[in-house]
Amino acid sequence: MTENGTSRTSRRAVLLAAGSAAVTALVAACAGPPRTPGAAGQPSAPAPATTPSAGKSASTPACVLTAESGAGPYYLDLDRVRSDIREGREGVPFRLDLTVVRVSAGCRPVAGAAVDVWHADASGTYSTGGNTFLRGTQITDDAGRCTFRTIVPGWYQGLAPHIHFKVRPERHTETTAQFFFPEELLAKVYALQPYARRPAPDHPNTRDDRYRASGAAMTLAPVPDGDGYRAAYTVGIA
């Protein structure tokens, strides 16, 4: 399957429109000294962003505006509230712990925000029509946190493997972006079934312009978690 980076017209307006000068000022106001990432389900501590090379994970800054990207053609406005979005889909288990903070309010956690997640299955296929696998919505708690249980997404032609997400703090505002994975982890996962039914690209990330543009800030740092992986990320909205 293919995907473009252009978001379709939504009934909600895009929120994030800060320039680089504003980002610099906000980061200076909010970010502290570099520290190690927080535990799963906890806000990540501030850390400088670094540009990942193929097969390397990136440091995840906690108190910066999240780099936006298009929703692509596969977003469905379902508002299907659930944490486990697998629906029996085969693949390596993956737990994603998110914390939403408002950068312009001193990185205060955002409670009650709707967070949508969607991505392809192990074969690179999205649910469409009446199907809802690997799609779901969670509402952030008082600490701005929510958790999704899913699988590591498969690849499809031309784009780096990714997980889409959309944060909707109010009815008419949204921030849309996507997470990437380190190539060294993808190589391990794609050697397993059911991913190994298709030969994966040698470098699935670096062939994608969007990864080259925002991969430094949007690459997750998964750690082993039972028979799968988990990662935590702090999403900064304006």
Give one DSSP letter per residue of 42-106, joined into a string. SPPPP----PPPTT------SSSPPPP----TT------B-SB--TT--S-EEEEEEEEEEGGGT
More confident residue, 2 or 182: 182
State residue 67's pLDDT score: 77
Beta strands in 119-226 (DSSP E): 135-139, 145-151, 162-168, 173-180, 223-225
Distances (CA, A) of 178 to 3, 129, 227: 13, 22, 24
Taking 50 as the threshold, does the pLDDT of residue 93 lie above it?
A: yes
At residue 148 the predicted structure's pLDDT band, cuts being 50, 70 and 90, is very high
Q: Is 163 exposed, middle or buried (0-12, 13-18, 19+ CB in 10 A)?
A: buried
More confident residue, 172 or 198: 198
- Label residue 51 left, alpha or beta by phi (over 0 means left) and psi (-120 to 50 means alpha): beta
At residue 129 the predicted structure's pLDDT band, cuts being 50, 70 and 90, is confident
Distant-in-sequence, close-in-space partners of 188: CB < 8 Å, separation ≥ 6: none
Taking 50 as the threshold, does the pLDDT of residue 220 lie above it?
A: yes
Distant-in-sequence, close-in-space partners of 22: CB < 8 Å, separation ≥ 6: none
Q: What is the pLDDT of residues 175-197, one digit of tens each?
A: 999 999 999 999 999 999 999 99
At residue 117 the predicted structure's pLDDT band, cuts being 50, 70 and 90, is very high
Percentage of the chain modeled with pLDDT above 70: 71
Cα diameter, the chain? 49
State residue 71's pLDDT score: 64
State residue 125's pLDDT score: 96
Pair 45, 36: CB distance under 8 Å:
yes
Alpha carbon distance 221, 231 (integer Å)? 6
Average pLDDT over residues 105-122: 96
pTM score, whole prediction:
0.74
Rounded-to-10 torsion of CA 33, 62, 186, 122 = 170
State residue 59's pLDDT score: 41
State residue 172's pLDDT score: 86
State residue 165's pLDDT score: 96
Cα four-point dihedral sign 34, 143, 66, 208: positive
For 184, the 3-state DSSP assignment is: helix
Taking 50 as the threshold, does the pLDDT of residue 113 lie above it?
A: yes
Taking 50 as the threshold, does the pLDDT of residue 39 lie above it?
A: no
Q: What is the pLDDT of residues 42-90, one digit of tens each?
A: 334 333 333 333 333 334 446 777 777 766 556 677 778 999 999 999 9
Bridge partners (DSSP) listed for residue 235: 100
Helices (H), the chain: 20-30, 183-189, 209-218
Residue 168 φ then ψ, to 5°: -125, 90
Taking 50 as the threshold, does the pLDDT of residue 115 lie above it?
A: yes
Q: How confident is the prediction for the chain on average, in pLDDT?
A: 78
State residue 80's pLDDT score: 87
